[in-house]
Amino acid sequence: MNTPYSQTALRHNQVFIWLCVLSFFSVLNEMVLNVSLPDIANDFHKLPASANWVNTAFMLTFSIGTALYGKLSDQLGIKKLLLFGIMVNGFGSIIGFVGHSFFPVLILARFIQGAGAAAFPALVMVAVVRYIPKENRGKAFGLIGSLVAMGEGVGPAIGGMIAHYIHWSYLLLIPTATVITVPFLMKLLEKEERVSGRFDMTGIILMSAGIVFFLLFTTSYRLSFLIISILAFLIFVRHIRKTQDPFVDPALGKNVLFMMGVLCGGLIFGTAAGFVSMVPYMMKDVHHLSTAAIGSGIMFPGTMSVIIFGYIGGLLVDRKGSLYVLTIGIVLMSSSFLIAAFFIGAAPWLMTVIIVFVFGGLSFTKTVISTIVSGSLKQKEAGAGMSLLNFTSFLSEGTGISIAGGLLSIRLLNQRLLPVNADHSAYLYSNMLILFAGIVIMSWLVTVNVYKRSRRND
């Protein structure tokens, strides 16, 4: 006979299983369309600057939504928000599939998908804290992290195979699989009391406007978009300094180590995302590979290596320290970019190896940035600070994808600056790889300098 305790434990385990399903699909939705960006650009006769908005649109609402759901969870409860996110995500998928022949409808669908999928990373972690006993949370977070890494890994392979053998539009239907969790979560999740609270909608609108217009600037390079973006951010900063319970705590801006960790981490994450979005274009233009070959042969080994490198990075931080692991990560990324830049015309398998080390360096860097940022925060700042780090990380990835698409479209770097043993089509990609290496090295130098100064002042 089951005791009340065993029944409760069984229900919590069932909740956790469905949360794992949502965690896997949230990242899969982010990665699965990446290898199809050249095909989408070709189908709609669009430049990469426009085609990359298929991913940028998703990441934009995904990043903002992550912060929103986290703020709202205390007021509205997990159950309502999680079910809302699942339904919105599925609704966006259906709109995208039905209207995939119309580019504006496709972009709108990706906006909607991101707004729904944002509920998964934001609320799953909160749900684990509320439903999983403290002694089992470490295993729970570890399993979710592994599933997220697996979603990142298999996403390009699945995306490449479906796009090549069927059509990329069917990738939009994958998130509808999360709808199967709805009846179980409705039954298993507890009803929560609604807590009254204030919500800074003005701050969200101002910040969102600044982000959108900046991304539009990186796509079209129209000065008017940049001016509007700067004005929106200036008004936003003024607003959060005066309002009660602002969307972003202005006190965090006084923490130099925190701000530098967030900004430099954002630059590195954005650069890596820009590189990943560029790889399909590069492999098609330079090596004329199929979408399936790019997803399975070029991208898949690198994205799966995140699981191994993430574990190694965590061990090294404890044993060797943050700066040691950060330096290794930056060396792996920058040297990989430089080797790819000089040998871009070499055999495609070389790019497979390079992507493995780029993702390895990125795993090391993410581990260190999280450690540095969390260590710079006081206990009362931890929640707001880590939430801002997650928001910035997701947003920087969308920004990196947008900027990479803009650079590929205006072809400002399409000059032979290096002794590259390849035809003219490789020059642009080679020069962009040099730019990527310079950005991550600069970010490393700033982070190390600020970190050492903060340690001397302690």
What is the distance between the alpha carbons of residues 411 and 427, in angstroms, rounded to a whole number? 10
Residue 36, pLDDT > 60, answer: yes
262-297 pLDDT tens trace: 888 889 989 988 998 899 999 988 888 888 888 888
What's the pLDDT score for residue 138?
Answer: 59
**278 and 235 in a common domain:** no
- Predicted confidence band of residue 134 (pLDDT cuts 50, 70, 90): low
What's the pLDDT score for residue 78?
Answer: 79
Cβ-based neighbours of 333, under 8 Å, separated by 6 or more: 268, 272, 357, 358, 361, 362, 365, 437, 440
- Predicted confidence band of residue 456 (pLDDT cuts 50, 70, 90): low
Q: Which of 337, 443, 389 is nearest to 70 (CA)?
A: 389
Cβ-based neighbours of 24, under 8 Å, separated by 6 or more: 147, 148, 150, 151
211-221 pLDDT tens trace: 888 888 887 78
Tokens standing for 189? Answer: 């999740």
- Predicted confidence band of residue 17 (pLDDT cuts 50, 70, 90): confident
What is the distance between the alpha carbons of residues 76 and 73, in angstroms, rounded to a whole number? 5
CB 137 within 8 A of CB 96: no
What is the distance between the alpha carbons of residues 10 and 373, in angstroms, rounded to a whole number? 36
What is the distance between the alpha carbons of residues 293 and 163, in angstroms, rounded to a whole number? 11
**74 and 39 in a common domain:** yes
CB 25 within 8 A of CB 120: yes
**214 and 191 in a common domain:** no
Residue 3, pLDDT > 60, answer: no
Least confident range of 65-69, 195-199, 362-366, 412-416: 195-199
**121 and 102 in a common domain:** yes
**88 and 109 in a common domain:** yes
Range of the domain at 230: 201-244
The 8 Å CB, 24+ separation contacts for 442-448 are 442/267, 443/264, 443/265, 443/267, 443/268, 443/330, 444/264, 444/268, 444/326, 444/327, 444/330, 446/260, 446/264, 447/260, 447/261, 447/264, 447/265, 447/326, 447/372, 448/323, 448/326, 448/327
Residue 4, pLDDT > 60, answer: no
What is the distance between the alpha carbons of residues 366 and 56, in angstroms, rounded to a whole number? 21
What's the pLDDT score for residue 376?
Answer: 73
**445 and 370 in a common domain:** yes
**339 and 456 in a common domain:** yes
CATH number of the domain at 42, please. Answer: 1.20.1250.20
Residue 316, pLDDT > 50, answer: yes
What is the distance between the alpha carbons of residues 274 and 436, in angstroms, rounded to a whole number? 9
Amino acid letter at 385? G
79-107 pLDDT tens trace: 888 889 889 999 999 999 999 999 999 99
Match 């969307």 to its residue by tokens. Answer: 247
CB 329 within 8 A of CB 361: yes
Least confident range of 5-9, 84-88, 257-261, 265-269: 5-9
Side-chain half-sphere CA neighbours of 265 within 13 A: 28
Mean pLDDT of 153-178: 86
**399 and 284 in a common domain:** yes
What's the pLDDT score for residue 95?
Answer: 94
Start-to-end C-alpha separation, the chain? 58
What is the distance between the alpha carbons of residues 86 and 134, in angstroms, rounded to a whole number? 27
**323 and 426 in a common domain:** yes
**121 and 72 in a common domain:** yes
Number of structural domains in the chain: 3
Of 185, 210, 244, which residue sits at a domain end?
A: 244
Q: pLDDT over 90 for what percent of the chain?
A: 15
Number of other residues whose CB lies within 10 A of the CB of residue 411: 11
**230 and 329 in a common domain:** no
317-336 pLDDT tens trace: 777 777 888 889 899 999 99
Q: Which of 304, 296, 266 is nearest to 280 (CA)?
A: 296
What is the distance between the alpha carbons of residues 349 and 341, in angstroms, rounded to a whole number? 15
What's the pLDDT score for residue 1?
Answer: 47
Cβ-based neighbours of 104, under 8 Å, separated by 6 or more: none
Cβ-based neighbours of 42, under 8 Å, separated by 6 or more: none
What's the pLDDT score for residue 333?
Answer: 92
**226 and 259 in a common domain:** no
